[in-house]
Structures are given as structure tokens and as C-alpha cells.
């Protein structure tokens, strides 16, 4: 049985699932497009906003950029090397 069910496997759903699983939760993600070809992130311009004025926003933007570039490595499994 799953502890958490996330509807939508976009960038927010995937990140939520990742961090919940790192806390030991059993997570299930339900996504209608498993290819992610029509997901918002792949269809976006691929930009990251890096210009902020508040320290918190600067740190969040930096973390998000670093995390997104690490996703392929973080999501490796034996079935999906």
C-alpha cells in the first residue's frame, strides 16, 4: 500500500515524489502521459529565472536549476540505467 499518491508526474509531482521517497515514504505517481512528450517542462523554453532580489528566491532558483540537471542521475534504477 502506498503512503502517498501524487496525481501528475510533471516537474512538481516528480520532485514531490522524489523528496517524499527520500524520507522513506512509499509513493505512487499517476501520470496520463508516461512519455512526458506533452508535459509542461519539456515543452517550455527551457529557461531558468536566475535574477531575483530576495535571498530566498535566489537560493531557490539556484537549487531548482541544480536539481533539474541532476534528475537523470538521481532517477537511475537497475531497470532504467
Q: What is the pTM of this model?
A: 0.57
Handedness of CA 41, 73, 4, 24 (dihedral sign): negative
Domain count, the chain: 2
Does the pLDDT of residue 75 top 80, yes or no? no
Same domain, 35 and 19: yes
Q: Does 3 score more than 90 pLDDT?
A: yes
Q: Write out pLDDT tens, residues 4-59.
A: 999 988 878 888 998 999 999 999 999 888 777 777 666 666 666 667 788 888 88
Note whether 41 and 4 are same-domain residues.
Answer: yes
Question: Is residue 20 located within the same domain as residue 56?
Answer: no
7-34 exposure pattern, b = at least 16 Cβ within 10 A, e = fewer: ebbbbebbebbeeeeeeeeebebeeeee
Amino acid at each position: 500500500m502506498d503512503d502517498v499518491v501524487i496525481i501528475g508526474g510533471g516537474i512538481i509531482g516528480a520532485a514531490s515524489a522524489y523528496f517524499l521517497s527520500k524520507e522513506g515514504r512509499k509513493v505512487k505517481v499517476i501520470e496520463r502521459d508516461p512519455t512526458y512528450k506533452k508535459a509542461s517542462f519539456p515543452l517550455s523554453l527551457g529557461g531558468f529565472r536566475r535574477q531575483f532580489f530576495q535571498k530566498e528566491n535566489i537560493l531557490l532558483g539556484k537549487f531548482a536549476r541544480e536539481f533539474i540537471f541532476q534528475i537523470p542521475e538521481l532517477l537511475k534504477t537497475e531497470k532504467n540505467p
